[in-house]
A = this chain, B = another copy of it.
Amino acid sequence: MEKEKALKGLKVVDLTSALSGPFCTMFFADFGADVIKIEPVTGDQCRTWGPLDEESGESGFYAYINRNKKGCTLNLKTEEGLQMFYDLVKDADFVCENYKGGVTKKLKIDYDTLKEINPKLIYVSGSGFGQTSPLSDRPCYDIVAQSMGGIVNLTGFTDTDPVKVGPSVADHVSGIYQMVGALIALHYREKTGKGQLVDVAMVDTIFSLLENAIPNYTMTGVIPERNGNIDPSISPFDIYHCKDGFVAVGVGNNNLWRKFCNVLGREDLIEHEEYATNELRSQNYEPELKKIIGDFVLNYTKKEMENMMADAGIPCGPVLNIEEAINHPQIQSREMMVHVEHPTAGDMYFQGVVPKLSETPGTVEEPSPLLGQHNREIFGLTEEEEKRLQELGVI
């Protein structure tokens, strides 16, 4: 029996482009909302981002993040295009956008304008610095939000420069927060009929991930610095070289320490005066204890380490590269990789859906739209009308 879609019947008018906003509307689409992606007539900029399919020229990234959405084009700078947009908004549940601050007002598509057309509308904004702030008009990239939000300074080894998180966490996590805000607003609207503005800033997003570093500073006055792969207050807790790569091992308490020493064949360390408690181990981890463990781990492969530690009940896992992660039975069994057939690029194989809902699972059923693919359907146009609007540069 086919499962139901939790967000079926909700209409999302999606002005977002590139990354952060589209990641939010991807959740809407995966859980069944009717997402209408509006692109400029030149297309979302990420249609040109590699990897591109050799024959069709289709972007793998665009295809991934825009699956399950319908696509149309609209030039909002034309009078007719703007009116067509307003028509779409009239019965929309959500408008999502991630323009640079100030742009929506200039285009007359800001929340204050649209709520006059549809007071029940929930308007979801994602941006670098938020809708109201000293820097809200500034352009922002993920690397800037990561830097100003504080995560760059906390990532990397003590003796190297700070390093950004490889993937675009500011963009992505902002997208997830936009979804949280949108759904909270939806619940409120269902009770009261009132729409509202949801405003998520990438810098805030990164800042919210800093966890203990903030109370550590406010309570002690000491500025936390980066520690590479160790945890300054738990030990051993590190990533080690092994025969064929790296493994992470976390020994979070004395019980695990006992088990870990047994695996190492170093029962003498369990009650050793330098290592008997977590506090002692944290103080005395470098250089001696780190070396003892490092030398041990070097004798094994990732897989051997993983199995030994699993048998002993000690948290451990290999550092996987993309190929290994994609093909790992864990990722496969969780359906974190999915296939979809694209009309021009053929089989596409990319990330699945994270929150698993037992009754209303998110699924990937439709490929991303070709540029303007659903123009006639969405705007209710005849072939002639479509042609006329194309020639005018409206769609």
Report yes or no: B139 in contact with A315, Cβ–Cβ below 8 A: yes
Compute how far the CA of A181 lies from the CA of B325 in the bound complex, rounded to whole angstroms: 24
Return A110 CB to nearest CB of chain B, in Å.
12
Compute how far the CA of A187 lies from the CA of B111 in the bound complex, rounded to whole angstroms: 24
Compute how far the CA of A129 lies from the CA of B329 in the bound complex, rounded to whole angstroms: 11
Compute how far the CA of A27 lies from the CA of B216 in the bound complex, rounded to whole angstroms: 22
User: A293 at the A/B interface (Cβ < 8 Å)?
Assistant: no
Report yes or no: A165 in contact with B151, Cβ–Cβ below 8 A: yes
Compute how far the CA of A324 lies from the CA of B222 in the bound complex, rounded to whole angstroms: 12
Further 14 A-B residue pairs, CB within 8 A, beyond A144-B250, A188-B359, A190-B190: A6-B185, A7-B184, A139-B314, A141-B252, A157-B163, A160-B160, A169-B169, A172-B208, A172-B209, A185-B357, A187-B187, A200-B354, A201-B356, A217-B322
Report yes or no: A134 in contact with B246, Cβ–Cβ below 8 A: no
Are A349 and B218 also in contact (CB < 8 A) when A153-B319, A169-B165, A239-B143 are? yes
Report yes or no: B176 in contact with A318, Cβ–Cβ below 8 A: no
Partner of A322, one of B164, B198, B224, B252: B224
Interface residues of A in 185-212 (CB under 8 A from B): 185-188, 190, 192, 194, 196-201, 203-205, 207-212
What per-residue 1/0 map shows which CB atoms of A147-162 lie under 8 Å from chain B? 1111111111100111
Partner of A354, one of B166, B205, B349: B205
- Which chain B residues lie closer than 8 Å to A318 at the CB level? 147-148
Closest to A30 in B: B184
Return A347 CB to nearest CB of chain B, in Å.
9
Compute how far the CA of A53 lies from the CA of B220 in the bound complex, rounded to whole angstroms: 9
Interface residues of A in 313-332 (CB under 8 A from B): 313-323, 325-326, 328-331
Report yes or no: A199 in contact with B148, Cβ–Cβ below 8 A: no
Are A51 and B167 also in contact (CB < 8 A) when A161-B239, A180-B355 are? no
Report yes or no: B135 in contact with A220, Cβ–Cβ below 8 A: no
Return A292 CB to nearest CB of chain B, in Å.
19
Report yes or no: A359 in contact with B194, Cβ–Cβ below 8 A: yes
| Most chain B beta-carbon contacts within 10 A, residue among A150, A162, A187, A190 | A150
Chain A residues in the interface with B (C-beta under 8 A): 4, 6-7, 19, 27, 31, 49-51, 53, 60-61, 63-64, 111, 128-135, 138-141, 143-157, 160-169, 171-173, 176-181, 183-188, 190, 192, 194, 196-201, 203-205, 207-220, 223-229, 231, 233, 237, 239, 241, 246-248, 250, 252, 310, 313-323, 325-326, 328-331, 333-334, 336-337, 348-351, 354-360
Report yes or no: A155 in contact with B147, Cβ–Cβ below 8 A: no
> Can you name 27 A-B residue pairings with CB atoms under 8 Å?
A7-B184, A49-B212, A61-B211, A131-B356, A143-B250, A147-B239, A147-B248, A148-B330, A150-B322, A151-B166, A151-B167, A153-B321, A157-B161, A157-B163, A167-B210, A167-B211, A169-B173, A172-B209, A173-B173, A173-B176, A173-B209, A179-B180, A183-B187, A197-B356, A197-B357, A208-B336, A218-B350
Are A209 and B319 also in contact (CB < 8 A) when A143-B229, A229-B143 are? no
Report yes or no: A351 in contact with B148, Cβ–Cβ below 8 A: no
